[in-house]
Amino acid sequence: AFVLVQMAEVHVVGCIEGGEDFDQLALFCKWGIVTDDGRHDAKRWNLLEGIASGQTQVDIAKEGCMSVWSFPLDLHYSTTTIHGWPKFTCEVWAHDKYGRNCLAGYGMCHLPTMPGIYELSVCTWKPKPQSWLEYINGFFLGAYPQLKNPDIVWRQDDRFRLSTVTSGTVKLRVSVITMGFEKHGVTQSNDAEAT
């Protein structure tokens, strides 16, 4: 006889609205949703529907305006735990008039755990040039330092060693719908005084 375990479910629907306050004007975003803290040995989150990574189009914004991507997000996960809750990660890239792509910033945020409609601001950063030569390459050629392993953006183990500078902000609008968590002993409350 089979034992049927009912899984809790999380739906995330919304869009990556755009990026603002970056030094460059022609921007695009490579994005992904990370679950299970990136571990493949302990798969606790299953993507039932949707695409967990992608890339937006390039938008050339006017000076002082947001680069508009309006890239849709529609994800449906099942899980038996809250460990490894989904995180949104992004790399924002700038496209220059010579056809080169250079890093504009990395960012990460946890998706909300409570059902509701949210407007999220993902602050981005990039590695700080460590030498005068790296600074000159970045200034004249757009060749700023990049991470050898981009997983460090969402991992918490080695990020404290980085020297970074802030860049712009990525704007998200998402609706989170949860179902079945109470069957696994997880209660959700919108009351600020609840524990």
| pLDDT exceeds 80 at position 87 | yes
Which helix (H) or strand (E) segment is 134 a member of?
helix 132-136
Tokens, residue 64: 């002082």
Nearest CA-CA partner of 101 in 141, 137, 53, 63: 141
Indicate the burial class of 29 (C-beta count within 10 angstroms; 0-12, 13-18, 19 or more).
Answer: buried
Contact 135/129 with Cβ under 8 angstroms? yes
Strands of the chain (E only): list them. 8-20, 26-34, 45-49, 53-55, 59-60, 67-79, 87-95, 101-110, 116-127, 164-179
Per-residue pLDDT reduced to its tens digit, 1-49: 555 567 889 999 999 999 999 989 999 999 999 997 766 666 789 999 9
Per-residue pLDDT reduced to its tens digit, 134-172: 777 766 766 677 787 777 778 766 656 777 889 999 999
Nearest CA-CA partner of 32 in 182, 156, 162, 150: 150
pLDDT on residue 151: 78
Q: How far is CA 146 from CA 23, 103, 158, 166, 181, in A?
A: 17, 7, 15, 14, 39
Per-residue pLDDT reduced to its tens digit, 97-131: 888 898 999 999 999 999 999 999 999 999 887 77
Q: How far is CA 156 from CA 55, 78, 152, in A?
A: 24, 24, 7
Confidence band of 192 (pLDDT split at 50, 70, 90): very low
Q: How many other β-carbons are positioned within 10 Å of the β-carbon of residue 141?
A: 12
CA atoms within 13 A on the CB side of 4: 1
Amino acid at 12: V
Confidence band of 78 (pLDDT split at 50, 70, 90): very high
